[in-house]
Structure 1
Amino acid sequence: MRAVRRLLERIRRSWPEAAGDAGSAVLEFLALSVVLLVPLVYLVLVLGRVQAATFAAEGAARTAARAYVVADTPSQGAARAVASVGLALEDQGFDDDPDGALTLTCSSAPCLRPGSEVAARVDVLVPLPFVPAFVRSVVPLEVPVSAERTAAVDTYRAAP
């Protein structure tokens, strides 16, 4: 019991000396958390947008290739593919032009010939969030994301 009393007495004697630092730990914590948390939150936002673009590009390329190969004519297939890319990009919050984002290539001269393949490539530019427009005009601050999918035209379909 005496040891505890001695320890408490020592703590009481040293307390006034430490009272001069009161409140500095809170300021240090706030400063350090701002320095570390702000970049971390920004990184999470950027990675979230890049992931959304990846998801949109993958889905858009897959549905565009499928929509093209089930169409009756190449022009109808291209219109369906562009529409499906527009839906996929809009679903993830991107306002890119679907016609400019989509590139279709065919493995044979008539695109919808049975047994041929159609490749759809979707390119999306992800702008970095919270970057002012005047900075964007000087330095391109966008992350390019692309996806490519191939779909086969059914071997037993009627030739166009």
Structure 2
Amino acid sequence: MTAGGPRSRRVRDQRGSAVIELTWLGIILLVPVVYIVLAVFDVQRGAFAVTSASRTAARAYALSDDHASGQAAADAAARLAFSDQGIEEPVGVKVTCSAPDGEARRTGPAACRLPGAIITVVVDSAVELPYLPDVLGGGAPTFALEATHSVPYGQFREAS
């Protein structure tokens, strides 16, 4: 065999194809990784929003004078916490109260204003995954998010 035989021509014909293969392989692997990172960031942002919303809504409710103004303050605080994270999704705010041990006969909103009562706020929402077309599932997939926060009404407050 001579140095310039058929084998050396085949090697020369393959030059440059590794760069093209590496580029395509990089694109094929990089696109899903970037999408996963973007989806995780959106879900984490939603998790921060529901956690912050439940904490601020519970505090706002505890500082209000009655149930109606407390519910309105809790809703407004939850919406503000979501807008701080740049999320405009609907937010569900549910307030429940547990009366102190000696006051088991009072339930509902009346139990919230007893000294020593525990006010529990549950905030729930959902975050849609970004950039998924409807063809892949008939609608954007969502992550349901929920956070709970409890605050005491205060044992040294005057009962209303």
The aligned residue for residue 43 of structure 1 is: 36
The one-letter amino acid of 1:107's match is: S
Q: How far off is 1:18 after superposition?
A: 3.0
Q: CA deviation at 1:94?
A: 1.4
Matches within 5 A, 1:5-24: 18-24=11-17
Structure 1 gaps, min length 5: 1-9
- Give the partner amino acid of 2:150: T
Q: Secondary structure at the match of 1:114?
A: coil
Q: TM-score, normalised by structure 1?
A: 0.82
User: What is the distance in 1 between the residues matched to 2:147 and 2:8?
Assistant: 65
Alignment of 1:112-131 (within 5 A): 112-131=113-132
Paired residue for 2:93, among 99, 102, 124?
102
Determine which structure has the larger helix proportion and give its number. Answer: 1
State the 1:132 CA deviation: 2.6
Q: How does 1:1-160 map to 2 (within 5 A)?
A: 18-98=11-91, 101-108=92-99, 109=107, 110=110, 111-133=112-134, 138=138, 141-160=141-160
Q: Which protein has the larger Cα radius of gyration, Structure 1 or Structure 2?
A: 1
Identity value in percent = 35
Q: Is contact 2:122–2:147 with CA below 8 Å preserved after alignment?
A: yes
- Aligned equivalents of 2:80, 2:36: Cα separation in 1: 27
Residue in 1 that maps onto 2:104:
none
The alpha carbon displacement at 1:121 in A equals: 0.8
Query: Partner amino acid for 1:127?
Result: E
**Residues 32-86 of structure 1, C-alpha deviations (whole Å, 9 max, x = no match):** 1111111100000010011101111111001111111111111111111101100
Determine helix, strand or coil for the equivalent of 2:113: coil
Q: Give the whole-Å Cα distance in 1 for the aligned partners of 2:150 and 2:136.
A: 38
Q: Deviations over 1:78-119 (max 9, x none)?
A: 111101100011111211223xx2111111321221110111
Determine the C-alpha separation between the residues in 1 that align with 2:148 and 2:156. Answer: 25
C-alpha distance in 2 between matches for 1:135 and 1:82: 34
Q: TM-score scaled to structure 2, two decimals?
A: 0.82
Compute the displacement of 1:139 (Å). Answer: 5.0
